[in-house]
């Protein structure tokens, strides 16, 4: 739809001239200074965000649309207004541009869609017996951070091996303080158990120092030290100790093997390998720290098909480091246009020199060639999966009578145990698979519904979802933003789904239909999927408005796809329910009393055995608890007994 409008714009000399005239009008008021500009459509959407060393000289190029590539000409034709921000330097303009692109997601910019933070390994420094844990987010806790790692899986795998090698604890400080005997991790030789004195604090600190040395890249030194200790233990006929040290050395060798390529000439660097094909780009990012490869992640940035790979990589790098600290060296597969400016911007952000390098020879070039091959293969897999996904969506359209392949499918399910901790869940899927950042959970708030009433729960979930959708559409309309169901690849909660898939039968379908009619949302195909006899997968029955219940062909790829959607919604609902139930179980009636902190709570629980026993205790019993004053005892007693 938007593409058709843009094609019409470039075909119309009037629109091209009008857009150029709008831009030309700003030239008289623009300074010869660095800054950032935004090109905005008539409906308020930001079309493009750009930076300039000289705003006036940069913007004047847009007044000549026929000298521009077709992509830029379309953008000029659709420009209704512009906004400008003057900056102190071009570096500041680059940093601001990257921030605005990530926030506004303009249609004509390259932008990073997967912006999740990377995990680190943290060796804590605020306890006599440091723990080794996975960490995400701000580095506010005292300790040493190692990373980034490419994924949570790579961190967990490395942590598991490091625990076998260095026997460091992973338990929380509160668990550590409350231990009276070794836990299971000590029994399976994953922890030295400093909590109960199985190892002295001095010897445990030595294990910590060894682990930190290994993570800093001193693996050969650490292994040599352990080998020397093993030989000494064997000579002293302490074969049990020698065997333990042998197992630790094997664990270290295993984690080095898992890290794969460890180049000799790369100590601390991020490597970006890009490959472009068919108007799509894959960028493989490899992380090297302390001379070790800590994993890689593939990105598929969104961009116009006419943008070349060097420009994609250039824009990607600025956004990637918008909220991340760069390493000393950034290695790139292509000579990006703004390499010198990027170096300066990253150095300013890191407050130290950062080099951006395109290797020409040697080991770095060989490693880059391998990384580019990974990017090429990842893109080929992605394109093959997209083609398969499109075929499946076309099959879904044929099965359910849609005019075209659905671009957004929402799947709903509920989860509870006898009506307690009830939650609803929504998962979203489209041409690129599951869109996990748009999953939503709904805590059932209606206290009047009958426990376990699946119909009422589904009604509440759907009502809340589509009430919010209608509200957001109205807000967009009030702001002058034209709502277009297909206007953007980046879907959001204000987008009407093409297909609503509900786990259930005719009853759930009826509820969905009533909610849609009440909310005024139209154009959504409603389908409920009921499990087959004896919950037999493959014999699911499908219910649709105005159509008799039906089955899909057994072992049909479309049926398998719909089962995957249903199972993903079920998995998400169950996970949400379990998390809510765990939080409920972890809570205590004592948490509601002002003045009861961890110390008093522990004293009460140790004395009475449970929170429930505290609620029925007499005043004299409460006063006898060590650490509980008479005033606090009365406060607790009155909290549980003076309700009337």
- The pTM is what? 0.66
Mean pLDDT of 298-302: 90
Mean pLDDT of 158-184: 85
Do 268 and 329 meet the contact criterion of CB atoms below 8 Å apart?
A: yes
pLDDT at 302: 87
Q: Assign domain 409-584 to its CATH architecture.
A: 2-Layer Sandwich (3.30)
Percent of the chain with pLDDT over 90: 28
Condensed to tens digits (0 to 9), the pLDDT of residues 301-322 reads: 988 888 899 999 999 999 999 8
**Alpha-carbon gap, residue 611 to 330, rounded angstroms:** 55
CATH class of 2-104: alpha beta
Do 497 and 410 meet the contact criterion of CB atoms below 8 Å apart?
A: yes
Q: Name the residue among 520, 114, 425 with its Cα closest to residue 282.
A: 114
Q: Crossing angle, helix 13-27 and helix 2-11, to 10 degrees?
A: 90
Do 269-381 and 409-584 come out as alike in CATH topology?
A: yes
The domain locations on the chain are 2-104, 120-258, 269-381, 409-584, 589-641
Condensed to tens digits (0 to 9), the pLDDT of residues 52-62 reads: 999 999 999 99
Mean pLDDT of 265-293: 89
Condensed to tens digits (0 to 9), the pLDDT of residues 8-20 reads: 444 456 778 888 8
Q: Name the residue among 210, 170, 202 with its Cα closest to residue 186.
A: 170
For the chain, the average pLDDT equals 83
pLDDT at 263: 74
Segment (H or E) for 587: none
Tokens representing 583? Answer: 């939080």
pLDDT grade, residue 323 (50/70/90)?
Answer: confident
Mean pLDDT of 36-51: 91
Mean pLDDT of 463-474: 79
Q: At which residue do the structure tokens 């009440």 appear?
A: 518
CATH superfamily for 589-641 is: 5' to 3' exonuclease, C-terminal subdomain (1.10.150.20)
In three-state secondary structure terms, 478 is helix
In three-state secondary structure terms, 570 is helix
Do 155 and 121 meet the contact criterion of CB atoms below 8 Å apart?
A: yes
Say which residues have a Cβ less than 8 Å from residue 208's Cβ, sequence separation at least 6: 123, 130, 166, 168
Burial class of residue 47, CB neighbours in 10 A (0-12, 13-18, 19+): buried
Condensed to tens digits (0 to 9), the pLDDT of residues 333-362 reads: 999 988 899 999 999 988 899 999 999 988
Condensed to tens digits (0 to 9), the pLDDT of residues 523-576 reads: 899 999 988 665 556 678 999 998 999 988 887 889 989 998 999 998 888 887
Do 272 and 290 meet the contact criterion of CB atoms below 8 Å apart?
A: no
Segment (H or E) for 406: none
Q: Is the pLDDT of residue 330 over 90?
A: yes
Q: Is the pLDDT of residue 608 over 60?
A: yes
Q: Assign domain 269-381 to its CATH architecture.
A: 2-Layer Sandwich (3.30)
pLDDT at 256: 54
pLDDT grade, residue 486 (50/70/90)?
Answer: very low
Do 359 and 365 meet the contact criterion of CB atoms below 8 Å apart?
A: yes
pLDDT grade, residue 328 (50/70/90)?
Answer: very high
The whole-angstrom distance between residue 180's C-alpha and the CA centroid of its chain comes to: 38
Q: Name the residue among 254, 206, 213 with its Cα closest to residue 229.
A: 206
* Helix segments in 496-610, DSSP class H: 506-519, 557-586, 598-608
In three-state secondary structure terms, 625 is coil
pLDDT at 332: 95
Q: Is the pLDDT of residue 641 over 60?
A: yes
Do 506 and 24 meet the contact criterion of CB atoms below 8 Å apart?
A: no
**Alpha-carbon gap, residue 550 to 543, rounded angstroms:** 7
Condensed to tens digits (0 to 9), the pLDDT of residues 575-586 reads: 877 777 666 655
Q: At which residue do the structure tokens 């990530």 appear?
A: 102
**Alpha-carbon gap, residue 604 to 590, rounded angstroms:** 9
| Comparison of pLDDT for 171 and 216, the residue scoring more | 171
Mean pLDDT of 493-512: 86
pLDDT at 9: 47
- Cis peptide preceding 148, ω within 30 of 0: yes
Condensed to tens digits (0 to 9), the pLDDT of residues 426-454 reads: 999 988 888 888 899 888 877 777 776 78
In three-state secondary structure terms, 201 is helix
Tokens representing 268? Answer: 């601390």
Say which residues have a Cβ less than 8 Å from residue 368's Cβ, sequence separation at least 6: 271, 273, 331, 333, 359
Tell me the longest C-alpha to C-alpha distance in the chain.
Answer: 93
Q: Where does residue 533 fall: left (phi above 0), alpha (psi -120 to 50 degrees), or beta otherwise?
A: beta
């Amino acid at each position: 739809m938007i593409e058709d409008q843009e094609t019409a714009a470039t075909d119309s000399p009037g629109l091209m001239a009008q857009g150029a005239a709008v831009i030309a009008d700003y030239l008289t008021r623009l300074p010869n200074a660095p800054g950032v500009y935004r090109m905005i459509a008539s409906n308020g959407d930001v079309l493009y965000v750009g930076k300039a060393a000289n705003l006036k000289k940069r913007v004047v190029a847009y007044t000549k649309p026929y000298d521009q590539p077709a992509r830029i000409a379309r953008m000029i034709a659709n420009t209704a207004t512009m906004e400008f921000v003057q900056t102190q330097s071009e570096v500041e303009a680059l940093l601001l541009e990257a921030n605005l692109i990530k926030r506004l997601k303009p249609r004509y910019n390259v932008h990073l869609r997967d912006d999740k933070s990377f995990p680190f390994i943290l060796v804590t420094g605020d306890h006599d017996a440091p723990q080794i844990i996975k960490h995400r987010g701000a580095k506010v806790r005292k300790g040493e951070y190692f990373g980034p790692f490419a994924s949570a899986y790579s961190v967990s795998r490395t942590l598991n091996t490091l625990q076998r090698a260095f026997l460091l604890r992973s338990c929380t400080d509160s668990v550590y303080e409350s231990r009276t005997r070794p836990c299971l991790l000590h029994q399976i030789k994953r922890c030295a158990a400093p909590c109960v004195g199985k190892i002295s604090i001095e010897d445990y600190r030595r294990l910590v120092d060894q682990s930190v040395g290994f993570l800093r890249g001193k693996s050969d030194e650490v292994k040599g030290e352990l080998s020397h200790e093993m030989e000494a233990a064997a000579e002293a006929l302490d074969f049990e100790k020698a065997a333990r040290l042998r197992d630790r050395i094997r664990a270290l060798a295993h984690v080095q093997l898992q890290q794969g390529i460890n180049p000799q000439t790369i100590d601390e660097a991020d490597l970006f390998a890009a490959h472009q094909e068919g108007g799509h780009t894959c960028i493989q990012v490899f992380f090297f720290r302390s001379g070790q490869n800590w994993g890689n992640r593939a990105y598929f940035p969104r961009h116009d098909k006419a943008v070349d790979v060097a420009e994609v990589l250039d824009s990607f790098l600025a956004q990637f480091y918008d909220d991340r600290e760069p390493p000393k060296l950034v290695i790139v597969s292509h000579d990006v246009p703004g390499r010198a400016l990027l170096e300066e911007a990253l150095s300013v952000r890191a407050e130290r020199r950062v080099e951006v390098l395109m290797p020409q020879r040697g080991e770095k070039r060989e490693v880059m060639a391998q990384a580019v091959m990974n990017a090429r293969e990842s893109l080929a897999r992605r394109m093959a999966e997209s083609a398969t996904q499109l075929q499946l969506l076309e099959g879904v359209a044929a099965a359910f009578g849609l005019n075209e392949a659905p671009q957004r499918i929402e799947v709903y399910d509920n989860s509870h145990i006898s009506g307690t901790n009830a939650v609803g869940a929504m998962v979203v899927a489209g041409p690129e698979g599951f869109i996990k950042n748009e999953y939503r959970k709904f805590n059932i708030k209606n206290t009047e519904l009958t426990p376990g009433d699946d119909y009422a729960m589904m009604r509440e979930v759907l009502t809340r979802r589509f009430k919010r959708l209608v509200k957001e559409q109205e807000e967009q309309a009030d702001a002058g933003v034209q709502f277009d169901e297909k206007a953007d690849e980046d879907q959001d909660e204000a987008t009407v789904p093409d297909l609503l898939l509900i786990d259930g039968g005719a009853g759930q379908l009826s509820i969905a239909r009533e909610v849609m009619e009440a909310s005024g949302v139209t154009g959504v195909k409603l389908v409920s999927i009921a499990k087959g006899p004896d919950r037999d997968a493959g014999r699911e029955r499908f219910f649709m408005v105005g159509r008799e219940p039906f089955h899909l062909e057994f072992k049909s790829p479309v049926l398998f796809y719909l089962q995957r959607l249903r199972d993903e919604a079920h998995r998400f609902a169950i996970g949400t329910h379990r998390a809510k139930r765990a939080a409920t179980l972890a809570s205590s009636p004592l948490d509601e009393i002002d003045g009861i902190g961890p110390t008093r709570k522990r004293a009460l629980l140790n004395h009475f055995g449970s929170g429930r026993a505290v609620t029925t205790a007499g005043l004299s019993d409460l006063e006898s608890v060590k650490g509980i004053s008479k005033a606090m005892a009365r406060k607790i007693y009155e909290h549980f007994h003076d309700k009337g």
